[in-house]
A and B are shown apart, each in its own frame.
Chain A
């Protein structure tokens, strides 16, 4: 293993952790895990962005060109963290954790062991196998492999432009319009390796898995869950089969969307609970990065933005404003004038008969009851999600009072409702029904909402008793620094 490859791994992690610490230097339960988890994910995305900026002309030596930029960013972030924490009131020593019964410790250890075992299997699978799933090589690795093997960036354009050679050095492919963040990240790691070795280029998917689980543990702790409760829900999240499949058969962008949306939601929940602006910045940063990963990210950003905006309205005005907006959107859709400028998708025209997405084409609107079978089988019968979609509605019904009592869970529930309704409309109300009938995309799109769904279940199941009497949540967060 070369020094460049080691550097290619250490630098994104250090940079990401420093940036997280700089944005939110406050101490909170589970902070180390959150710093590590967010650090890994943010670090990899920052690395992709820096590579896209610094290594376009010489992708072969992307690490050499980009590392100074990342190092500088890490130093700046470190200095900012020091500056922001120097006047911070030191948090009093936390009370020693309550004694935990032995059987709970054994269960926790078993959960950890189970997660470690599947992580090991996934790591071995990535390290042994060349890129396997269809879209991983057809859609997501085409740009990175081209740029790395060419030695420089080349634009990807539509087939029509490619035939006309506009521009002359352009490439094309079925995924020419897809976002390029993951491609740049793969260029970075290929450069670190010094060759196009697919297992090593796909290793970030394993890092993402670790980051996803660690960040959720850390943030759930900060949101009031005990160590054991947080660990139990990390097991719930980590045990979901299709998540592990997306790690083991690395190369798809869906896990990145799921992780980043999950992280955005967690930070937003902390902002709602603590009014910690640092976490709001993190939430918005994570959400803003979604369209850079996959086109569907734009839709999630839109729904997330709408929910955040709704939550920011004064409570007494919310319903009126939402009703007026929905009415306005409906009228515009009916007259065929609802044009939404969505990043990556172009000007999306929503009408009553079709949705026209410039980069995807026309999605005719119509009732497709046949897709209901595929949707039901995917969520409730196949081995993709264990009992998640059976238990989530039951948990919501069982803890309805908790959900209603807290702003955070209420808004998270609203976001999930919007998201699931959008997916239901997509699969039952448009020609995307075939994706559900053939099981090709239904689970992958549902996956985007899975970490957020587990977060909702975790918060509802572990809501402290006093919250049931309508009090605020029991977040144990120390006072902010300056």
Chain B
């Protein structure tokens, strides 16, 4: 009996040690937070978007012109070092939105932001020690909501939601384990990185990965049990095999939950819509619109080679794909190889590195000048006819 009790205690100690390490737990911290700063949402000021008070909550009903909503609240004499955990609770938060924690430090004009896990039902927590910039005196804090980057089309992302309450907790076991739970079992949306790795997340604070800690806790517990209960080697091996199988199934269930949550964002954006409507609902709708304008313009022109200029690789490659079957290539790749033909068209899209110099009749950028003649313009889209090197 004593051995069994000892074994139970050893397993509890192992799990506390392993998961406490994963949670960056301060071992001398109290079980419950000694300082709590609770902030009802109705005390927050709507800086961007529109919202109305609903009891102690705040109903956010609209985003601002830039597609985001922001709620802020001034706080007095708040030392960042006194608080280690941020908790937040929203109701009906749309899958298609991302949430950021925003704060301003004393004497600074710019705010600091940190993407936090998507707030599903109930309370969610993050470890503030992992948030860059969380130090010094905080004068203002709040939350920003916007279409989830890389995945949710801005035009279709917003749905009204309710912001209930947020709390700041001083360091405690409960707070640390709460933040660990959120980071391991919270939802993360698809990102461009998802096709290559499921680990790195968009949140600023990268959580400790679940797998090695769960494996360490499982194996150590079994070894401790085997040692204390004097299991024969064969029995220990059998139980290790069973534990690994059970852990595999557990990890798989966690992954299935995450997969389902990721898919729910897709359902929220695309379900019940026709093919053409869905094709238009891409995260980069501005690029798609520009491509449509270009296709429409070039449909009235004889076939030309087209060189595309944009600031980011993603933008010019995406524009070229959306323009297909127009025959286009990035100017970046063509520079330095050989001069294009004189009737080549050059598309300039949302570029800060290249500009058209009217006086010289040239596109200037990347240390070069290309003699061109403007032939088409619509919004951010500019088309020039290449006339040669000046």
Give complex CA distance A390, B209 in Å: 15
Q: How many whole Å from B189's CB to the nearest CB in chain A? A: 12
- The prevalent SS among residues of B at the interface is helix
Q: Which residues of A contact B151 (CB under 8 A)?
A: 132
Q: Which residues of A contact B254 (CB under 8 A)?
A: 383
- Given known pairs A163-B338, A249-B190, the reply for A129 and B266 (CB within 8 Å) is yes
- Stretch from B25-33, B60-68, B227-235, B323-331 forming part of the interface with A: B323-331
- Cβ of A133 < 8 Å from any Cβ of B? yes
Are A384 and B197 in touch, CB under 8 angstroms? Answer: yes
- Cβ of A424 < 8 Å from any Cβ of B? no
Are B198 and A241 in touch, CB under 8 angstroms? Answer: yes
Q: Which residues of B contact A172 (CB under 8 A)?
A: 329, 333
- Cβ of A109 < 8 Å from any Cβ of B? no
Q: Which residues of B contact A195 (CB under 8 A)?
A: 275
Are B198 and A383 in touch, CB under 8 angstroms? Answer: yes
- Cβ of B13 < 8 Å from any Cβ of A? no
The digit string for B195-223, where 1 denotes a CB below 8 A from any CB of A, is 11111100000000111100100000000
Are A390 and B215 in touch, CB under 8 angstroms? Answer: yes
- Cβ of A206 < 8 Å from any Cβ of B? no
Partner of B199, one of A128, A162, A382: A382
Of chain A, the residue at the smallest CB distance from B212 is A381
- Cβ of B194 < 8 Å from any Cβ of A? yes
Are B194 and A128 in touch, CB under 8 angstroms? Answer: no
- Given known pairs A132-B190, A163-B338, A387-B251, the reply for A198 and B211 (CB within 8 Å) is no
List A residues 169-208 near B (Cβ within 8 Å): 171-174, 195, 197-200
Of chain A, the residue at the smallest CB distance from B197 is A439
- The prevalent SS among residues of A at the interface is helix
- Cβ of A421 < 8 Å from any Cβ of B? no
Q: Total interface residues on A, using CB and 8 Å?
A: 64
Are B337 and A163 in touch, CB under 8 angstroms? Answer: yes
List B residues 231-281 near A (Cβ within 8 Å): 244, 247-248, 251-252, 254-256, 258-260, 263, 266-267, 269-271, 275, 278-279, 281
Q: How many whole Å from B207's CB to the nearest CB in chain A? A: 11
Of chain B, the residue at the smallest CB distance from A376 is B212
Q: How many whole Å from B47's CB to the nearest CB in chain A? A: 32
Are B199 and A439 in touch, CB under 8 angstroms? Answer: yes
Are B333 and A159 in touch, CB under 8 angstroms? Answer: yes
List B residues 123-159 near A (Cβ within 8 Å): 151
Are B278 and A199 in touch, CB under 8 angstroms? Answer: yes
Q: Which residues of B contact A130 (CB under 8 A)?
A: 278-279, 281-282
Give complex CA distance A16, B329 in Å: 37
Seen from chain B, the residues whose Cβ lies within 8 Å of a Cβ on chain A are: 151, 190, 192-200, 209-212, 215, 244, 247-248, 251-252, 254-256, 258-260, 263, 266-267, 269-271, 275, 278-279, 281-282, 305, 314, 317-318, 320-321, 324-325, 327, 329, 333-334, 337-341
Seen from chain A, the residues whose Cβ lies within 8 Å of a Cβ on chain B are: 114, 117-118, 121, 124-125, 128-130, 132-138, 141-142, 145-146, 149-150, 159-160, 162-165, 171-174, 195, 197-200, 236, 239, 241-242, 244-246, 248-249, 252, 377-378, 380-384, 386-387, 390-391, 439-444
